[in-house]
Amino acid sequence: MVEHGDIVFVDHPKYYQKALLSAATIIIIPEELLVPEGKSLLVHPKPFDAFNFLLKHFAAEQTLKDAWIHVSAKVYPNVYLGKNVRIEENCVIHAGAHIADHTHLESGVIIGPNSVIGYDAFYYKKKPEGYDRLNSSGGVHIESNVEIGALCTIDRGVTGVTRIGKGTKIDNQVHIGHDTQIGTNTLIAAGCGISGCVEIGNNVTIWGQVGMASGVKVHDNAVILGQSGVTKNVPEGAEYFGTPAGPSKDKYTELVYLRNQVKN
């Protein structure tokens, strides 16, 4: 998520105002515009390429340290640990897991077999010659007593941190995209695909095979029923269902109406 002091890029007029009104301090943009107070513009004909250059340049200057593992943590065979990894007390990392650079696991975290924590963001720009990948230099922070099942993937932030809140439980084969923020004591069932830059609150329940579009926000205590496609924000305490997802009572009413129309 963008914070004060960050630098972002924007290369389409549709998103100029969103970038200018964001918390970012520096915006790379292809044309001169009125500069909001407290911000700076870097005008460049190819903002994506300029941003990628800065990521690669400053990532190369980072001094990476070996992984730090608390003596009480249990790391099974065939686990890969990257640089600047921190694993605190009583963590359990099962066989075959890949814990990439800049990952922090707080106490009591469990990582299931063959899960990948901290892989690069799925972020590309389409060019005439093909897709150009956006470099990732961020990390993953998993708070205490989080459990992550087998064959899950949690992508690291592009420049910031993908965060999983305290006490959250994630089932097998779940994907969580870059820079997503998940609150405390949230439950995510198997087969869910959560895009990048999603915000999920505290005590949220997400049942199996739910898909979420980039940038949506799910507020505290919400419930998303299985096989739903979430494309818009979900209010606090709401129960959503369907594709596109909406209040479950409304969706059930729609299904009953459609079924009656078929019968008639």
Which residue in 94, 102, 175, 178 is the catalytic one?
Answer: 178
182 neighbors 162 (Cβ within 8 angstroms): no
Torsion angle of C-alpha atoms 108, 112, 117, 119, degrees rounded to 10? 180
Coil, strand, or helix at residue 127? Answer: strand
**Residue 4 appears among annotated catalytic residues:** no
Residue entry with tokens 């369907």:
242
Q: What residues act catalytically?
A: 178
